[in-house]
């Protein structure tokens, strides 16, 4: 059977045929050529035009097992090689040259390459369409259609190819036998392309075997009553389609609130499946996770067991707002009741009191066995069917007897549906009934542990501690000010109203199922969710065409105003003219098509001139090129133009088009940093670089995205994060370019453009310029289209990871930290410190609040490179200490100050008497261990570790125990506050001490501590507690510094003026600290 599907009836001539697509987008192929045309031109020159394969033959079956180059024109040689390799592998499978167990492996390898390179997908579809058209061998034809059907189920063709492919397959649907059946499967799969998201995993064995045998997918769906139902599903069925089929199977009247879950059999973790997810992709994910093994059999029994190896589908009620009444749907009542029993008995999710559990056990016995019968006590022997493990382990009782008595008292005499409704009504009175649980991580510090469960139901939000296995927070929806979702960082923030009782008003969690939580909250209380980013509305193709026109008009303005000029590429004459001459001659031999190719659609088949050196068209001047420029795009003079051309060459090197072997540094990001450092001080070069990068990211076919183009997008976003264009017209051109590209959000180009638009908006509104080039960490984040991340250490030893954009300052990062830790927003005197290990010790530097954090990261890289350290550690500390030192109503601030003071005590920054040391140890024991309980003397070894080593040997554990006994009843926070009060008795508490050398005062030592605190500056001996002098800020007349690490203070002492000269290596830190104290005191005074 020789099947040909290219013929189009005269009534359907307006339809797009596969031949039309080939005429527009296919490469030139030379007959009997074994080397790709892109690798050498000599093969082309040796062949006459009679050796060129006609387009009509390019869309028909070929008996050759290899092709000389890809069918579709690609710019990347890597994609071309992958296309040739894929064709060879497909031919091997079709001809039976591979073992049966290798076929699926080869197909999955091809699919993985398509997931990695989107442009390869269309090539695979074209190869399969070609090999199914006119194949003379029946076995080969059926096998190719089989691969075609599997491919259409997994991959998604581009919008350009889709219509052509649909028309081709529609013609094949009329074919008899398996070919027509396969074509119908493909047509159904292609019909879902508009709504189907891109797959990232290959097909499951179940999916492959079902398609090959032309059978539906057979899946088991589990219910909480222990029963299962087998469903026959189509390859295009979504979760919503599956739910509807379940409804028909079980005769459920309404689907309101019902949902489908996937559950891991090992840990019973459930994930709610979105309505638009495809069942084939879900099953494929199970197999990818190792849940199933490959098998050759296609028996339904095996298929059912395959899907249930480690995952299973569960049908359950997700949104429970009311309890069914006596006239409700009996099917819905049955399944809702079974779900409530499971969550009460099997997994104890509702955490009901023991007395209520016994009462419910009696009702459950009535449902199972009917009225109470005293002689049938054996019914209750399987106690774990009535009571959860927590209740059974709580105390030793005769549980069968207890259950029988509960049956007699609470269930006897009730009809089955009455007992079920009573069971649900009783369980619904408790806060966790009907809740959906989500695993989350608290972005702060809790004594309850960082890992918790967020429970969401009709009443509000609950927090459940996994550490203590109990609910510790219940927030009603009316108590919430707002709920903020951040998709980039996968965090959700709950902000409580100020009128709500309680000290903490902000809770921030990180979780994987952010979308599920927000959807559920929005169901119960709409308009409460606020997204961190505003998502743009989807734009139509008309908007894209309109932006295209605006872009062309902007280009004309750039040329007319003299801002830019049309440039020519270098080194393109011979190769391009040879290809175009061959294309032109071959096209003369082909029949004229009704839909002629549009200009610039196919880079291979358009010829502009007969000359060897083709002059570029206007559009060529503004779009991507692989060749170096002959002149700059903007009008530059002399050396600047040479610099601009060199920068473009560096861009080609970074993208991989040009060889970068000449560079000294093999690190690719170093080249980007070098480019940006050249333009940061010259706005002319900045404008030139913008036009170069817009040109290199401007393509006529956004779906043919490659790694080369992604590199140019990296550079463009990095440039946007550093500087905006100095020319308003270029900025407008950039804005139009990003808007035009971001319309295709489902493509990589659209994702890069959307991220670039966000960065442009933030850089434009930043109040200060960047002073450093992006760090390698920032460039890596840009390449991933994510925020940069930093790990910040808190004083209690915990660490948090924070994301931030390139324009955010240190002060903004501090606000994020205080927000996520639950500290009050108006907390004063906080500072961010960067410390780096050098020669066995750590050097610490204070980061100014006004500094841009991205600039600091570049400086960190310089530090690490200079002293060969592996990391920089950031920590949040209390920096300015002015009474009152902390807000006693803020437990988070008290906790931070307490742990910081413990560190200061250990590092001998606060002098202690022996009596103070004993009291601090007793208070520490009260915080850690609670009330005194006849501790052994060795039990206090842990608390004495907070003391400096010389003092530890002077402390007697018995003295600590005596004082500990006096602290009975003191809570942890009260003990911490008392700990701080002991330290605050020292006059210089909170003062920052610097080691200095003074040369002007003869009556005190040369080396001493120079302290800066809330009163003023202090001179203090280094070995003891003696304070030699204190100079309040109001008596400091002038402060002068020199370049030789010297600071001169002019102070008033009595009626005289005295000069104090100190020498220090921490001059800048001292001046910053004095300035900060003065500003804070002045702010407080003006309130």
Per-residue pLDDT tens over the stretch 110-155: 999 998 888 899 999 999 999 999 899 999 999 999 999 999 988 8
Would you state the CATH architecture of domain 992-1086? Roll (2.30)
Residues 6+ apart with CB under 8 A from 212: 146, 150, 298
The string of DSSP codes covering 200-241 is: -S---HHHHHHHHTT--EEEEEE-TTS-EEEEEE-TT-BHHH
The percent of the chain in helix, strand and coil, each rounded to the nearest 5, is: 45, 15, 40
pLDDT at site 456 = 94
Which parts of 234-375 are beta strand (E)? Answer: 258-264, 270-272, 311-317
| Cα–Cα distance, 180 to 177 (Å, whole number) | 6
pLDDT at site 367 = 92
| Cα–Cα distance, 323 to 327 (Å, whole number) | 11
| Cα–Cα distance, 454 to 518 (Å, whole number) | 12
Domains 217-317 and 788-878 agree in fold: yes
18-25 vs 159-172: helix axis angle to the nearest 10?
Answer: 150
pLDDT at site 534 = 42
Report whether the peptide linkage leading into residue 884 is cis, meaning its omega lies within 30 degrees of zero: yes
Output Rg (C-alpha) for the chain, integer angstroms: 37
Which of the four CATH numbers 3.30.70.100, 2.40.10.340, 1.20.80.10, 1.25.40.10 does domain 330-427 have? 1.20.80.10
Provide, rounded to the nearest whole percent, the portion of the chain with pLDDT above 70. Answer: 85
Helix H, strand E, coil C: the string for 997-1026 is EECCCCCCCCEEEEEECCCEEEEECCCCCC
Give the Cβ contact number of residue 929 at 10 Å.
15
What are the backbone angles phi and psi of residue 765, rounded to the nearest 5°?
-95, 5
Angle at 128 between CA 709 and CA 196, to 5 degrees: 60
Would you state the CATH architecture of domain 436-531? Roll (2.30)
Would you state the CATH architecture of domain 217-317? Roll (3.10)
What are the backbone angles phi and psi of residue 1006, rounded to the nearest 5°?
-75, -45
Pairing, β 992-998 against β 1007-1012: antiparallel
Report whether CATH 1.25.40.530 matches the domain 542-564+616-783.
yes
pTM: 0.63
Query: Residue 626's closest CA among 556, 685, 576?
Result: 576
Burial profile 19-50: b = 16 or more Cβ within 10 angstroms, e = fewer: bbbbbbbbbbbbeebeebbbeeeebbeeeeee
CA 283 and chain centroid, separation: 23
pLDDT at site 99 = 86
Query: Residue 18's closest CA among 107, 131, 138, 110?
Result: 131
Burial profile 87-103: b = 16 or more Cβ within 10 angstroms, e = fewer: bebbbebbeeeeeeeeb
CATH number of 788-878: 3.10.20.90
Chain position carrying tokens 């579809």 = 125
pLDDT at site 616 = 40
CATH number of 10-200: 1.25.40.530
pLDDT at site 44 = 43
pLDDT at site 244 = 93
Which residues of the chain have a pLDDT value below 50? Answer: 1, 5-14, 33-49, 291-308, 534-537, 572-617, 662
All structural domains of the chain with their residue ranges: 10-200, 217-317, 330-427, 436-531, 542-564+616-783, 570-589+598-615, 788-878, 901-984, 992-1086
Pairing, β 529-531 against β 270-272: unpaired
| Cα–Cα distance, 785 to 747 (Å, whole number) | 13
Would you state the CATH architecture of domain 901-984? Up-down Bundle (1.20)
Residues 6+ apart with CB under 8 A from 305: none
Burial class (CB in 10 A: 0-12, 13-18, 19+), 1000: exposed
Contact (Cβ atoms closer than 8 angstroms) between residue 829 and residue 880: yes
Contact (Cβ atoms closer than 8 angstroms) between residue 770 and residue 778: no
pLDDT at site 637 = 85
| Cα–Cα distance, 475 to 492 (Å, whole number) | 15
Element (H, E) at 996: strand 992-998
């Amino acid at each position: 059977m020789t099947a040909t599907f290219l013929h189009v009836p005269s009534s359907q001539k307006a339809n797009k045929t596969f031949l039309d697509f080939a005429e527009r987008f296919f490469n030139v192929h030379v007959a009997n050529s074994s080397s790709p045309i892109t690798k050498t031109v000599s093969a082309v020159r040796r062949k006459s035009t009679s050796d060129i394969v006609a387009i009509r033959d390019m869309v028909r079956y070929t008996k050759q097992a290899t092709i000389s180059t890809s069918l579709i024109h690609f710019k990347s040689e890597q994609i071309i090689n992958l296309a040739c390799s894929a064709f060879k592998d497909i031919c091997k499978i079709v001809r039976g040259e591979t073992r049966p167990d290798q076929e699926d492996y080869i197909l999955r390898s091809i699919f993985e390459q398509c997931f990695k390179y989107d442009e390869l997908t269309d090539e695979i579809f074209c190869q399969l369409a070609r090999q199914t058209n006119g194949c003379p061998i029946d076995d080969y034809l059926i096998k190719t259609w089989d691969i075609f059907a599997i491919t259409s189920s997994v991959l998604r063709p581009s919008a350009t190819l889709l219509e052509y492919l649909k028309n081709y397959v529609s013609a094949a649907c009329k074919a008899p036998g398996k070919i027509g059946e396969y074509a119908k499967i493909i047509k159904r799969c292609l019909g879902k392309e508009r709504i189907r998201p891109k797959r990232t995993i290959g097909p499951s064995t179940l999916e492959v075997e079902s398609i090959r045998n032309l059978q539906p997918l057979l899946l088991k769906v589990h219910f909480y009553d222990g029963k299962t139902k087998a469903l026959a599903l189509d390859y295009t069925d979504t979760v919503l389609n599956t739910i509807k089929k379940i409804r028909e199977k079980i005769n459920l009247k309404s689907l309101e609130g019902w949902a489908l879950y996937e559950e891991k059999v090992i840990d019973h973790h459930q994930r709610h499946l979105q309505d638009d997810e495809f069942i084939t992709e879900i099953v494929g994910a199970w197999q990818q996770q190792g849940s199933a093994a490959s098998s050759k059999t296609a028996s339904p029994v095996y298929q059912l067991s395959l899907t249930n190896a480690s995952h299973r589908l569960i049908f359950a009620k997700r949104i429970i707002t009311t309890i069914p009444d006596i006239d409700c749907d009996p099917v819905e009542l049955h399944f809702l009741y079974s779900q409530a029993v499971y969550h009460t008995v099997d997994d104890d999710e509702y955490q009901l009191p023991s007395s209520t559990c016994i009462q419910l056990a009696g009702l459950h016995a009535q449902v199972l066995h009917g009225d109470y019968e005293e002689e049938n006590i054996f019914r209750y022997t399987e106690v774990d069917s009535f009571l959860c493990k927590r209740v059974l382990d709580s105390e030793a009782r005769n549980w069968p007897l207890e259950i029988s008595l509960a049956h007699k008292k609470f269930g006897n005499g009730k009809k089955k549906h009455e007992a079920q409704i009573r069971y649900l009504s009783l369980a619904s009175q408790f806060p966790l009934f009907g809740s959906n649980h989500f695993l989350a991580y608290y972005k702060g510090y809790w004594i309850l542990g960082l890992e918790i469960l967020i429970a969401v139901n009709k009443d509000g939000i609950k927090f459940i501690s996994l550490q203590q296995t109990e609910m510790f927070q219940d927030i009603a929806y009316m108590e919430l000010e707002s709920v903020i979702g951040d998709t980039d960082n996968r965090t959700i923030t709950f902000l409580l109203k100020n009128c709500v009782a309680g000290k903490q008003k902000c809770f921030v969690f990180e979780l994987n199922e952010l979308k599920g939580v927000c959807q559920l909250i929005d169901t119960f209380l709409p308009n409460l969710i606020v997204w961190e980013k505003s998502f743009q509305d989807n734009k139509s193709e008309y908007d894209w065409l309109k932006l295209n026109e605006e872009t062309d008009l902007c280009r004309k303005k750039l040329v007319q105003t003299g801002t830019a000029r049309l440039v020519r590429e270098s080194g393109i004459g011979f190769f391009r003219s040879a290809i175009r001459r061959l294309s032109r001659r071959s096209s003369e031999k082909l029949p004229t098509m009704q839909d002629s190719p549009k200009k610039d659609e196919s880079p291979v088949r358009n010829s502009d001139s007969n000359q060897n050196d083709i002059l570029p068209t206007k559009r060529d001047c503004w779009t991507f090129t692989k060749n170096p420029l002959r002149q700059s795009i903007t009008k530059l003079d002399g050396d600047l133009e040479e610099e601009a051309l060199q920068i473009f060459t560096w861009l080609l090197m970074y993208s991989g088009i040009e060889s970068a072997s000449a560079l000294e540094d093999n690190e690719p990001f170093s080249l980007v940093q070098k480019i940006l450092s050249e333009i940061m001080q010259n706005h002319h070069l900045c404008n030139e670089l913008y036009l170069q990068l817009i040109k290199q990211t401007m393509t006529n076919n956004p779906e043919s995205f490659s790694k080369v183009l992604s590199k140019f997008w990296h550079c463009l976003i990095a440039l946007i994060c550093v500087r905006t264009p100095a020319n308003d017209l270029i900025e407008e051109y950039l804005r139009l370019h990003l808007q035009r590209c971001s319309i295709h959000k489902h493509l990589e180009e659209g994702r890069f453009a959307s991220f670039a638009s966000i960065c442009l908006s933030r850089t434009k509104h930043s109040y200060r310029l960047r002073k450093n080039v992006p760090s390698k960490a920032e460039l890596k984040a840009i390449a991933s289209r994510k925020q940069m991340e930093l790990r910040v250490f808190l004083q209690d030893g915990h660490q948090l990871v924070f994301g931030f954009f390139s324009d955010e300052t240190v002060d903004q990062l501090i606000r994020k930290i205080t927000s996520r830790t639950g500290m009050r927003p108006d907390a004063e005197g906080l500072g961010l410190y960067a410390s780096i290990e050098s020669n066995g010790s750590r050097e610490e530097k204070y980061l100014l609040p006004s500094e841009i954090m991205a600039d600091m990261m570049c400086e960190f890289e310089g530090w690490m490179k200079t002293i060969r350290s592996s990391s920089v550690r950031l920590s949040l500390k209390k920096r300015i200490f002015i009474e009152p030192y902390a807000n006693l109503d803020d437990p988070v601030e008290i906790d931070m100050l307490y742990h910081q003071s413990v560190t200061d005590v250990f590092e001998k920054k606060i002098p202690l008497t022996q009596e103070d040391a004993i009291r601090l140890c007793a208070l520490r024991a009260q915080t850690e261990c609670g009330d005194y309980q006849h501790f052994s003397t060795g039990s206090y070894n842990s608390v004495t570790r907070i003391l400096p080593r010389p003092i530890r040997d002077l402390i007697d554990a018995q003295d600590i125990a005596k004082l500990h006994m006096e602290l009975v009843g003191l809570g942890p926070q009260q003990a911490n506050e008392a700990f701080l009060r002991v330290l605050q008795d020292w006059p210089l508490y909170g003062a920052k001490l610097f080691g200095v050398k003074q040369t002007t005062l003869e009556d005190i030592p040369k080396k001493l501590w120079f302290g800066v605190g809330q009163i003023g500056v202090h001179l203090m001996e280094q070995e003891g507690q003696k304070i030699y002098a204190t100079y309040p800020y109001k008596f400091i007349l002038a402060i002068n510094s020199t370049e030789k690490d010297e600071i001169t203070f002019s102070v008033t002492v009595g009626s005289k003026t005295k000069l104090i000269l100190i020498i220090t290596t921490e001059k800048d830190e001292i001046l910053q600290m004095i300035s900060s104290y003065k500003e804070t005191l002045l702010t407080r005074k003006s309130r």
